[in-house]
Copies of this chain bind each other. A is one copy, B any other.
Amino acid sequence: MSATEGFSTCALPNNNPDCILLGHGSGGRLTSELIRHIFLPIFGGDELAKLEDQATLPAPSPGTRLAFTTDSFVVKPIFFRGGDIGRLAVCGTVNDLAVGGAIPKYLSVAFILEEGLAITDLTRIVKSMKLTCDEVGITIVTGDTKVVDRGKGDQIFITTTGIGEVPAGVNLSIHSAKPGDRILISGTIGDHGVAILSEREGLQFETELQSDVAPLHDLAQLIIRECPDVRCMRDPTRGGVSGVLHELSEASKVSVRLDEASLPFRDEVRAACEMLGLDPIYVANEGKLIAVVPATDAERVLTAVRSHPNGRNAAIIGEVRAERRGMVTIRSRIGTERIVPQLTGEQLPRIC
Protein backbone atom coordinates (compact mmCIF):
# COMPACT_ATOMS: atom_id res chain seq x y z
CA MET A 1 0.00 0.00 0.00
CA SER A 2 1.38 3.42 -0.80
CA ALA A 3 1.93 6.18 1.72
CA THR A 4 -0.20 8.54 -0.34
CA GLU A 5 -3.33 6.66 0.68
CA GLY A 6 -2.91 8.47 3.96
CA PHE A 7 -4.27 7.56 7.35
CA SER A 8 -7.90 7.15 6.32
CA THR A 9 -7.42 3.51 5.37
CA CYS A 10 -5.85 2.42 8.61
CA ALA A 11 -8.56 0.30 10.19
CA LEU A 12 -8.64 -3.43 10.56
CA PRO A 13 -11.23 -5.39 8.58
CA ASN A 14 -14.62 -5.62 10.29
CA ASN A 15 -14.20 -9.17 11.49
CA ASN A 16 -11.24 -8.12 13.66
CA PRO A 17 -11.37 -7.59 17.41
CA ASP A 18 -10.93 -4.09 18.87
CA CYS A 19 -7.93 -5.09 20.92
CA ILE A 20 -4.68 -6.97 20.45
CA LEU A 21 -4.86 -10.75 20.72
CA LEU A 22 -1.98 -13.20 21.09
CA GLY A 23 -2.72 -14.14 17.47
CA HIS A 24 -1.56 -10.70 16.28
CA GLY A 25 1.96 -11.88 17.09
CA SER A 26 1.67 -15.33 15.55
CA GLY A 27 2.97 -14.67 12.06
CA GLY A 28 -0.38 -15.75 10.61
CA ARG A 29 -3.41 -13.94 9.22
CA LEU A 30 -3.91 -11.57 12.19
CA THR A 31 -0.27 -10.45 12.05
CA SER A 32 -0.61 -9.91 8.34
CA GLU A 33 -3.77 -7.82 8.82
CA LEU A 34 -2.07 -5.65 11.44
CA ILE A 35 0.77 -5.01 8.99
CA ARG A 36 -1.42 -4.41 5.95
CA HIS A 37 -4.14 -2.35 7.62
CA ILE A 38 -2.26 -0.36 10.28
CA PHE A 39 1.53 -0.30 9.84
CA LEU A 40 1.82 -0.10 6.05
CA PRO A 41 -0.89 2.52 5.39
CA ILE A 42 0.40 4.77 8.19
CA PHE A 43 4.15 4.34 7.94
CA GLY A 44 4.12 4.05 4.14
CA GLY A 45 7.36 3.85 2.19
CA ASP A 46 8.49 1.54 -0.58
CA GLU A 47 11.06 -0.37 1.45
CA LEU A 48 8.64 -1.33 4.23
CA ALA A 49 5.98 -2.31 1.69
CA LYS A 50 8.27 -4.95 0.17
CA LEU A 51 7.66 -7.05 3.31
CA GLU A 52 11.01 -8.74 3.09
CA ASP A 53 12.61 -10.00 6.31
CA GLN A 54 15.17 -7.21 6.01
CA ALA A 55 15.37 -3.79 4.43
CA THR A 56 17.99 -3.33 1.73
CA LEU A 57 19.32 0.21 1.62
CA PRO A 58 21.68 2.11 -0.64
CA ALA A 59 25.23 2.38 0.71
CA PRO A 60 25.86 5.70 2.45
CA SER A 61 27.50 8.60 0.62
CA PRO A 62 31.24 8.20 -0.01
CA GLY A 63 33.43 9.54 2.78
CA THR A 64 30.75 9.25 5.46
CA ARG A 65 30.63 6.78 8.33
CA LEU A 66 27.59 4.99 9.71
CA ALA A 67 26.02 5.90 13.04
CA PHE A 68 24.00 3.11 14.68
CA THR A 69 21.99 3.32 17.90
CA THR A 70 19.13 1.54 19.68
CA ASP A 71 16.77 2.25 22.58
CA SER A 72 13.79 0.54 24.13
CA PHE A 73 10.94 2.69 25.40
CA VAL A 74 8.78 1.60 28.34
CA VAL A 75 7.40 4.99 29.49
CA LYS A 76 4.31 5.01 31.67
CA PRO A 77 1.74 6.43 30.98
CA ILE A 78 1.95 5.80 27.23
CA PHE A 79 0.11 9.07 26.47
CA PHE A 80 1.22 12.19 28.34
CA ARG A 81 1.04 15.96 28.04
CA GLY A 82 3.25 16.95 25.15
CA GLY A 83 3.68 13.51 23.61
CA ASP A 84 3.29 9.75 23.72
CA ILE A 85 5.48 6.64 23.67
CA GLY A 86 5.52 6.68 19.85
CA ARG A 87 6.87 10.21 19.49
CA LEU A 88 9.31 9.49 22.32
CA ALA A 89 10.56 6.30 20.62
CA VAL A 90 11.31 8.17 17.38
CA CYS A 91 12.85 11.24 19.06
CA GLY A 92 14.96 9.21 21.48
CA THR A 93 16.76 7.33 18.74
CA VAL A 94 16.91 10.28 16.35
CA ASN A 95 18.51 12.34 19.12
CA ASP A 96 21.13 9.70 19.88
CA LEU A 97 22.10 9.85 16.19
CA ALA A 98 21.91 13.65 16.12
CA VAL A 99 24.18 14.28 19.10
CA GLY A 100 26.80 12.10 17.45
CA GLY A 101 26.81 14.52 14.54
CA ALA A 102 24.96 12.10 12.25
CA ILE A 103 22.22 12.90 9.76
CA PRO A 104 19.38 10.50 10.71
CA LYS A 105 18.40 8.30 7.73
CA TYR A 106 16.62 5.03 8.56
CA LEU A 107 14.67 3.64 11.48
CA SER A 108 13.56 0.15 12.50
CA VAL A 109 10.67 -0.35 14.92
CA ALA A 110 9.98 -3.41 17.09
CA PHE A 111 6.76 -3.54 19.09
CA ILE A 112 6.13 -5.73 22.12
CA LEU A 113 2.37 -5.50 22.66
CA GLU A 114 0.41 -6.76 25.64
CA GLU A 115 -2.65 -8.80 24.84
CA GLY A 116 -5.65 -6.50 25.32
CA LEU A 117 -4.06 -3.25 24.09
CA ALA A 118 -6.77 -1.25 22.33
CA ILE A 119 -6.28 -1.14 18.56
CA THR A 120 -7.25 2.56 18.69
CA ASP A 121 -4.37 3.24 21.10
CA LEU A 122 -1.92 1.34 18.88
CA THR A 123 -3.13 3.27 15.84
CA ARG A 124 -2.76 6.60 17.63
CA ILE A 125 0.82 5.72 18.62
CA VAL A 126 1.73 4.55 15.12
CA LYS A 127 0.36 7.79 13.62
CA SER A 128 2.35 9.83 16.13
CA MET A 129 5.52 7.94 15.13
CA LYS A 130 4.88 8.65 11.47
CA LEU A 131 4.32 12.38 12.06
CA THR A 132 7.55 12.59 14.07
CA CYS A 133 9.47 10.70 11.37
CA ASP A 134 8.19 13.18 8.78
CA GLU A 135 9.29 16.08 10.97
CA VAL A 136 12.82 14.62 11.00
CA GLY A 137 12.94 13.26 7.47
CA ILE A 138 13.73 9.74 8.64
CA THR A 139 12.14 6.64 7.11
CA ILE A 140 10.88 3.52 8.88
CA VAL A 141 12.16 0.70 6.69
CA THR A 142 11.71 -2.48 8.73
CA GLY A 143 9.92 -3.70 11.84
CA ASP A 144 8.62 -6.49 14.02
CA THR A 145 5.62 -7.16 16.26
CA LYS A 146 5.44 -9.54 19.19
CA VAL A 147 2.50 -10.05 21.54
CA VAL A 148 2.82 -11.21 25.15
CA ASP A 149 0.01 -12.53 27.30
CA ARG A 150 -2.00 -10.22 29.53
CA GLY A 151 -0.05 -9.31 32.68
CA LYS A 152 3.33 -10.16 31.12
CA GLY A 153 3.92 -6.75 29.54
CA ASP A 154 2.47 -3.28 30.04
CA GLN A 155 0.36 -2.15 27.06
CA ILE A 156 3.22 -1.41 24.67
CA PHE A 157 7.00 -1.37 24.63
CA ILE A 158 8.77 0.02 21.55
CA THR A 159 12.37 -0.50 20.50
CA THR A 160 13.66 1.78 17.76
CA THR A 161 17.04 1.45 16.09
CA GLY A 162 18.47 4.15 13.87
CA ILE A 163 21.04 4.43 11.12
CA GLY A 164 22.55 7.80 10.30
CA GLU A 165 25.40 9.18 8.23
CA VAL A 166 28.26 11.00 9.92
CA PRO A 167 29.76 13.47 7.43
CA ALA A 168 33.51 13.38 6.86
CA GLY A 169 35.40 15.51 9.38
CA VAL A 170 32.82 15.24 12.16
CA ASN A 171 34.39 13.50 15.17
CA LEU A 172 32.47 14.15 18.35
CA SER A 173 33.41 12.20 21.45
CA ILE A 174 32.63 12.30 25.12
CA HIS A 175 36.37 11.66 25.63
CA SER A 176 37.43 14.97 24.11
CA ALA A 177 36.37 17.71 26.57
CA LYS A 178 39.24 20.02 27.57
CA PRO A 179 39.72 22.29 30.58
CA GLY A 180 38.26 25.70 29.85
CA ASP A 181 35.49 24.37 27.57
CA ARG A 182 32.00 25.65 28.26
CA ILE A 183 28.89 23.53 28.85
CA LEU A 184 25.84 24.68 26.91
CA ILE A 185 22.30 23.38 27.35
CA SER A 186 19.70 24.04 24.67
CA GLY A 187 16.83 24.89 27.05
CA THR A 188 15.01 24.36 30.33
CA ILE A 189 15.90 21.37 32.48
CA GLY A 190 13.67 18.55 33.74
CA ASP A 191 10.50 19.21 31.71
CA HIS A 192 9.98 15.63 30.50
CA GLY A 193 10.56 13.83 33.77
CA VAL A 194 8.51 16.25 35.83
CA ALA A 195 5.66 16.22 33.29
CA ILE A 196 5.50 12.40 33.41
CA LEU A 197 5.68 12.30 37.17
CA SER A 198 3.05 15.03 37.58
CA GLU A 199 0.76 13.05 35.33
CA ARG A 200 1.30 9.89 37.38
CA GLU A 201 0.77 11.70 40.68
CA GLY A 202 -2.17 13.76 39.41
CA LEU A 203 -0.45 17.08 40.16
CA GLN A 204 -1.99 20.28 38.74
CA PHE A 205 -0.15 23.50 37.94
CA GLU A 206 -1.42 26.91 36.91
CA THR A 207 0.14 26.58 33.50
CA GLU A 208 0.19 23.13 31.99
CA LEU A 209 3.58 21.46 32.16
CA GLN A 210 4.42 19.48 29.04
CA SER A 211 7.10 17.01 28.12
CA ASP A 212 9.78 18.63 25.96
CA VAL A 213 9.98 15.56 23.69
CA ALA A 214 11.29 16.80 20.33
CA PRO A 215 13.78 15.82 17.67
CA LEU A 216 17.15 17.58 17.89
CA HIS A 217 18.59 16.76 14.47
CA ASP A 218 18.57 20.31 13.10
CA LEU A 219 19.73 21.93 16.34
CA ALA A 220 22.68 19.52 16.46
CA GLN A 221 23.60 20.28 12.84
CA LEU A 222 23.33 24.01 13.52
CA ILE A 223 25.84 23.69 16.37
CA ILE A 224 28.28 21.72 14.20
CA ARG A 225 28.04 24.33 11.43
CA GLU A 226 28.51 27.19 13.90
CA CYS A 227 31.33 25.48 15.82
CA PRO A 228 33.22 22.77 13.91
CA ASP A 229 35.40 22.36 17.03
CA VAL A 230 32.47 21.31 19.24
CA ARG A 231 33.89 18.53 21.47
CA CYS A 232 30.75 16.52 21.99
CA MET A 233 27.01 16.66 22.36
CA ARG A 234 24.69 14.52 24.47
CA ASP A 235 20.97 14.49 25.17
CA PRO A 236 20.41 14.41 28.94
CA THR A 237 17.66 11.76 29.12
CA ARG A 238 17.68 9.15 31.95
CA GLY A 239 20.04 10.38 34.64
CA GLY A 240 19.48 13.95 33.48
CA VAL A 241 22.09 16.69 33.20
CA SER A 242 24.00 15.16 36.10
CA GLY A 243 24.24 11.79 34.34
CA VAL A 244 25.73 13.29 31.17
CA LEU A 245 28.22 15.43 33.06
CA HIS A 246 29.39 12.51 35.18
CA GLU A 247 29.97 10.44 32.04
CA LEU A 248 31.80 13.38 30.46
CA SER A 249 34.06 14.09 33.43
CA GLU A 250 34.95 10.42 33.73
CA ALA A 251 35.53 9.82 30.01
CA SER A 252 37.51 13.04 29.41
CA LYS A 253 39.36 12.86 32.75
CA VAL A 254 38.27 16.35 33.74
CA SER A 255 35.78 17.86 36.16
CA VAL A 256 32.74 19.96 35.44
CA ARG A 257 31.62 22.92 37.55
CA LEU A 258 28.03 24.03 37.09
CA ASP A 259 26.87 27.53 37.91
CA GLU A 260 23.57 27.21 39.80
CA ALA A 261 22.31 30.68 38.89
CA SER A 262 22.60 29.95 35.18
CA LEU A 263 20.56 26.71 35.12
CA PRO A 264 17.34 27.32 33.20
CA PHE A 265 14.17 25.89 34.79
CA ARG A 266 10.48 26.43 34.21
CA ASP A 267 8.64 27.74 37.29
CA GLU A 268 6.32 24.70 37.24
CA VAL A 269 9.33 22.36 37.26
CA ARG A 270 10.88 24.21 40.16
CA ALA A 271 7.58 24.08 42.08
CA ALA A 272 6.98 20.39 41.35
CA CYS A 273 10.52 19.44 42.27
CA GLU A 274 10.21 21.25 45.60
CA MET A 275 6.92 19.49 46.28
CA LEU A 276 8.26 16.05 45.29
CA GLY A 277 11.73 16.40 46.76
CA LEU A 278 13.50 16.01 43.41
CA ASP A 279 16.59 17.74 42.08
CA PRO A 280 15.88 18.64 38.44
CA ILE A 281 19.47 18.10 37.33
CA TYR A 282 18.82 14.35 37.79
CA VAL A 283 15.54 14.47 35.88
CA ALA A 284 15.15 13.27 32.28
CA ASN A 285 14.83 15.61 29.31
CA GLU A 286 13.73 14.41 25.87
CA GLY A 287 14.21 17.51 23.71
CA LYS A 288 17.37 19.08 25.05
CA LEU A 289 21.02 18.69 24.23
CA ILE A 290 24.19 19.50 26.06
CA ALA A 291 27.11 20.72 23.93
CA VAL A 292 30.70 21.07 25.10
CA VAL A 293 32.34 23.89 23.17
CA PRO A 294 35.65 25.77 23.32
CA ALA A 295 35.34 28.90 25.50
CA THR A 296 36.08 31.23 22.59
CA ASP A 297 33.10 29.86 20.61
CA ALA A 298 30.65 29.65 23.50
CA GLU A 299 28.83 32.97 23.16
CA ARG A 300 28.56 32.67 19.39
CA VAL A 301 27.10 29.14 19.64
CA LEU A 302 24.70 30.30 22.35
CA THR A 303 23.37 33.08 20.12
CA ALA A 304 22.93 30.64 17.24
CA VAL A 305 21.13 28.04 19.38
CA ARG A 306 18.81 30.72 20.82
CA SER A 307 17.77 31.63 17.28
CA HIS A 308 16.29 28.12 16.87
CA PRO A 309 12.71 27.47 18.08
CA ASN A 310 13.92 24.53 20.21
CA GLY A 311 16.80 26.55 21.65
CA ARG A 312 15.20 29.78 22.85
CA ASN A 313 16.02 29.12 26.53
CA ALA A 314 19.56 27.91 25.90
CA ALA A 315 22.22 28.82 28.46
CA ILE A 316 25.89 28.36 29.28
CA ILE A 317 25.63 26.44 32.54
CA GLY A 318 29.18 25.58 33.51
CA GLU A 319 32.74 24.89 32.51
CA VAL A 320 35.21 22.08 32.22
CA ARG A 321 38.15 22.11 34.64
CA ALA A 322 41.37 20.16 35.02
CA GLU A 323 41.34 19.70 38.81
CA ARG A 324 39.18 17.13 40.73
CA ARG A 325 39.06 14.76 37.76
CA GLY A 326 35.89 12.73 37.36
CA MET A 327 33.82 15.02 39.59
CA VAL A 328 30.84 17.26 38.97
CA THR A 329 30.36 20.24 41.27
CA ILE A 330 27.93 23.12 41.45
CA ARG A 331 28.66 26.69 42.54
CA SER A 332 25.68 28.07 44.45
CA ARG A 333 24.22 31.55 44.15
CA ILE A 334 26.22 32.61 47.20
CA GLY A 335 29.50 31.31 45.77
CA THR A 336 29.95 28.05 47.69
CA GLU A 337 30.81 24.92 45.74
CA ARG A 338 29.38 21.50 46.48
CA ILE A 339 29.71 18.07 44.90
CA VAL A 340 26.91 16.72 42.68
CA PRO A 341 26.87 13.00 43.53
CA GLN A 342 26.17 10.39 40.86
CA LEU A 343 22.64 9.05 41.05
CA THR A 344 22.77 5.59 42.63
CA GLY A 345 19.43 3.94 42.18
CA GLU A 346 16.18 4.82 40.57
CA GLN A 347 14.92 8.36 40.81
CA LEU A 348 11.99 8.12 38.41
CA PRO A 349 11.29 4.67 37.03
CA ARG A 350 9.99 4.20 33.46
CA ILE A 351 10.48 7.79 32.43
CA CYS A 352 11.36 6.81 28.85
Give the interface of A toward B (CB within 8 A).
21-23, 25-32, 50-60, 62-74, 96-97, 99-100, 102, 106, 108-112, 141-144, 146-149, 151-154, 157, 159, 161-164, 166, 173-175, 234-235, 237-240, 243, 247, 251, 282, 284, 342-350, 352
A to B CB contacts below 8 Å, 6 in the list = A26-B238, A54-B96, A56-B100, A68-B163, A72-B144, A159-B159
A155 to B131, CA, bound (A): 33
Residues of B within 8 A of A60 (CB): 59-60, 66
**Provided the pairs A65-B59, A66-B57 are in contact, do residues A157 and B239 lie with their beta carbons within 8 angstroms?**
no
**Provided the pairs A66-B57, A108-B161 are in contact, do residues A27 and B243 lie with their beta carbons within 8 angstroms?**
yes
Residues of B within 8 A of A69 (CB): 53-55, 108, 142
A142 to B102, CA, bound (A): 15
A99 to B55, CA, bound (A): 12
Is A25 in contact with B349, judged by CB distance below 8 angstroms? yes
Q: How far is the CB of A208 from chain B (nearest CB, A)?
A: 26
User: Which of A63, A96, A109, A346 has the largest number of chain B CB atoms within 10 A?
Assistant: A346
Name A149's closest neighbour in chain B (CB-CB): B349
Is A54 in contact with B102, judged by CB distance below 8 angstroms? yes
Is B97 in contact with A54, judged by CB distance below 8 angstroms? yes
Residues of B within 8 A of A29 (CB): 342-345
Is B68 in contact with A54, judged by CB distance below 8 angstroms? yes
Quick one: which of B149, B161, B239 contacts A26, CB cutoff 8 A? Answer: B239
Q: How far is the CB of A163 from chain B (nearest CB, A)?
A: 6
Residues of B within 8 A of A97 (CB): 54
Is A146 in contact with B74, judged by CB distance below 8 angstroms? yes
Residues of B within 8 A of A143 (CB): 70
Is B22 in contact with A234, judged by CB distance below 8 angstroms? no
